[in-house]
Amino acid sequence: YHNPHTKHGRQAIVHLFEWKWADIASECERFLAPKGFAGVQISPPQESIVLTTPWRPWWERYQPISYNLCSRSGSEMELKDMITRCNNVGVNIYVDAVINHMCGASGGEGTHSNCGTYFNANKKEFPSVPFGASDFNDGKCKTASGNIESYDDRNQVRDCRLVSLLDLALEKDYVRGKVADYMNKLIDMGVAGFRVDACKHMWPGDMEAVFGRLHNLNTKWFNAGSRPFIVQEVIDLGHEAIKASEYFHLGRVTEFRYSSKLGVIMRKWDGEKLCYTKNWGEGWAFMPTGNSLVFVDNHDNQRGHGPGGSSIVTFKDSRLYKMATAYMLAHPYGMTRVMSSFAWDHSDQGPPSHADGSTKNVKINPDDTCGDGWVCEHRWRQITNMAGFRNVVNGQPHSNWWDNGSNQVAFGRGDRGFIVFNNDDWPLNLTLNTGMPGGVYCDVISGRKEGGRCTGKTINVGGDGRAHFNISNTDEDPMVAIHADSKL
Ligand code: AAO
């Protein structure tokens, strides 16, 4: 479950948060494949509740009503078409699977769901699956409220309701079967794996039983015998009863410490300095690299849900965000996920939408950026080009580290790439050993190589591998990156 089955040596996946299936299909063909992105994490595709107070929040999609593939992102036909078209250009699809629970206990009764499927949250009835009252954990939960009241008690974290969401009894063979059927339908359609929601709230043994029933990936696009890739969402900052390591054997796990630490470092809070990242990775007590999925921000912590608080760097701090993302993509630790957001003013706000609540198309501007409220961080030149950098340096060691004892650092990836950061309040002006073969290279932060010419800064690497770098602390992007494929 740890192998993402990426194609053509591609290394970074992108979360196209709340995008419609039709837009994702086009994005795979026109941008993600040519730029070398490995895959897309999509928003939950199952039918969910429709909420109007607050008005159509993004988080309604985390409240399933049925496993019909009918959502704010589109129909089953559109989903299938998207999976096919992305697979055909070598971009994998990873589904956000919400299998811990159904809707909130106060979800009411009726047909306020994406495709008008009837449900009754009071009676815990979801006839379209079907699930009934006995398929939920309420008998097992020991708290007075029926909700999780303390994260220090592993039993209640797994047997009680997460923020009142009706908690499925995954110990039941019947429930496991229904969940596995849902996931298998997606696997048969061609998805490469899953981001599994709220894994802290499920017993690893129950998850193992579900995953054991999953089909191998569709052999139209994947090798025979390929198991689905699994990323488990477990928030473990180190001080709760449940540890991320309990889930290592089941797939990769989200490393939230990476996101919160990188934010603190880039903001220079708590006395942190970029030079302390010389041993970034396991040296910072992160989980083993082969177990981790890493990110600068995710859809929760970019808006104050989940952990990390105000330290998290997001598109709203664009200069720091580009630096943090470049650092992540240049560094060998972990499997990387790039966030692609929509703009928002308040944290409940759903994606850009029309008056009837339907999601707007993603608008693409002539300069490759997005419009109509779509932020598209993955299309920011610096971030796109660093996803390319990661592909070019894949498999190369972290090498030629340099730092100034403060917030200026540089490191290479064998003889395939080199990057320099200046997050201090004074200029960087010096010669460094890059480890790269001599030649003239195009800096992929300030520009890109186009038809043998460079649209940004050029860097001259001498026959001895040394090159001069001059990065002002007031530069739009105070960093420079070169790699084997950016050689002119
Ligand atoms: C909504 C409403 C609720 C309402 C509910 C049902 O907001 O008021 O009761 O509907 O009607 C999303 C939204 C929720 C939304 C939900 C359903 O974020 O607001 O609820 O959809 O529509 C925990 C889980 C983690 C979860 C995270 C948000 O462990 O799995 O909460 N993330 C996933 C998704 C997320 C989604 C769901 C799960 C549900 O990514 O989008 O929710 O499907 C501690 C614990 C964490 C815990 C956090 C937050 O973290 O460790 O496990 O995450 O608290 O409660 C410090 C600590 C750190 C701590 C943190 C947060 O940093 O060091 O450990 O503070 O305070």
The ipTM assigned to this model is 0.96
- Active-site pick, 197, 300, 443, 477: 197
pLDDT in tens, 284-340: 999 999 999 999 999 999 999 988 789 999 999 999 999 999 999 999 999 999 999
Whether the pLDDT of residue 31 is over 90: the answer is: yes
Three-state SS at 1: coil
What is the band of 47 on the pLDDT scale with cuts at 50, 70, 90?
very high
Average pLDDT rounded to a whole number, residues 140-155: 98
Q: Is residue 70 in contact with ligand 1, taking CB distance under 6 Å?
A: no
In 205-263, beta strands by DSSP E: 229-232, 252-254
CA R_g for the chain: 23
What's the 364 CA to ligand 1 centre distance in angstroms? Answer: 32
The angle that helices 318-330 and 381-393 make with each other, rounded to 10 degrees, is 10
Average pLDDT rounded to a whole number, residues 258-278: 98
% of the chain at pLDDT higher than 90? 98
Tokens standing for residue 4:
């993402």
**Is 233 designated active site?**
yes
Residue 154's pLDDT is what?
97
What is the band of 214 on the pLDDT scale with cuts at 50, 70, 90?
very high
Atom of ligand 1 nearest to the CA of 308: 62
How far apart (Å, rounded) are the C-alpha atoms in residues 246 and 175? Answer: 22
Neighbours of 52 (CB within 10 A): 10
Residue 332's pLDDT is what?
98
What's the 179 CA to ligand 1 centre distance in angstroms? Answer: 21
Residue 308's pLDDT is what?
78
Pocket test for ligand 1, best of 124, 194, 235 (most atoms within 8 A of CB): 235
How far apart (Å, rounded) are the C-alpha atoms in residues 237 and 260? Answer: 9
| Residue from 317, 371, 322, 373 nearest 345 by CA | 373
Average pLDDT rounded to a whole number, residues 170-185: 98
Q: Is residue 167 in contact with ligand 1, taking CB distance under 6 Å?
A: no
pLDDT in tens, 152-168: 999 999 999 999 999 99
Residue 306's pLDDT is what?
81
Residue 307's pLDDT is what?
80
Q: Is residue 403 in contact with ligand 1, taking CB distance under 6 Å?
A: no
Atom of ligand 1 nearest to the CA of 298: 40
Q: What integer best gives the mean pLDDT of the chain?
A: 98
Tokens standing for residue 427:
């200029």
